[in-house]
Amino acid sequence: MRATLALETDLAGAWLPAGGAHLSAPHRNGKKGRRMSEAKGTGSDIAVLNDCLGRVAAAADRGAFMQLFDHFGPRLKYFLLQKGCTDGEAEDLVQDVMLTVWRKAKQFDPGKAAASTWIFTIARNRFIDTKRRERVMVDFDTCPEAEQVSEETAEDEITQSELAADVAVAMAELPQAQAEVIQMAFIDGKSHSEIAEELGVPLGTVKSRIRLAFARLREVLESHR
Partner 1 sequence: MSVANSQTLKASQNAPQNIPKHRLGDEWLVGLASGTLSEGEAMFARTCLSFVPEAANDLALAQTLGGAALERAPQAALKADARASLLAALDGAEMEPATSSPAPSPAPRKERQQGGVMPAVLQDYAGGDVDRMKWSYLGPGMKKVRLWQNDKGQTLWMLRAQPGVKIPEHTHEGTELTLVLKGSFHDAFGHYGPGDVEETDNSHTHDLVIDEGGECICLALTDRPLKFKGWIARAMQPFIGL
Of residues 47 through 106, those in contact with partner 1 by CB under 8 A are: 57, 60, 62, 65-66, 69-70, 72-79, 81, 90-91, 94-95, 98-99, 102-106
Q: Which is nearer to partner 1, 38 or 112 (CB)?
A: 112
How many whole angstroms separate alpha carbon 64 and alpha carbon 68? 6
Number of residues that bind partner 1 (CB under 8 A): 93
* Residue 12 near partner 1 by CB under 8 A: no
* Residue 191 near partner 1 by CB under 8 A: yes
- Picking from 157, 178, 168, 163, the residue whose alpha carbon sits closest to that of residue 11 is 168
Binds partner 1 (CB under 8 A): choice among 125, 162, 178, 196: 125
Q: How far is the CB of 179 from partner 1 (least distance, A)?
A: 8
Residue 40, helix vs strand vs coil: coil
Residue 125's contacts (CB-CB under 8 Å, 6 or more residues apart) are: 137, 139
Q: How far is the CB of 158 from partner 1 (least distance, A)?
A: 15
40 exposure class (CB count in 10 Å sphere: 0-12, 13-18, 19+): exposed
How many whole angstroms separate alpha carbon 17 and alpha carbon 118? 22
* Residue 122 near partner 1 by CB under 8 A: no
* Residue 210 near partner 1 by CB under 8 A: yes
* Residue 201 near partner 1 by CB under 8 A: no
Q: How far is the CB of 224 from partner 1 (least distance, A)?
A: 10
Binds partner 1 (CB under 8 A): choice among 39, 48, 53, 164: 164
Residue 7's contacts (CB-CB under 8 Å, 6 or more residues apart) are: 44, 45, 48, 49, 71
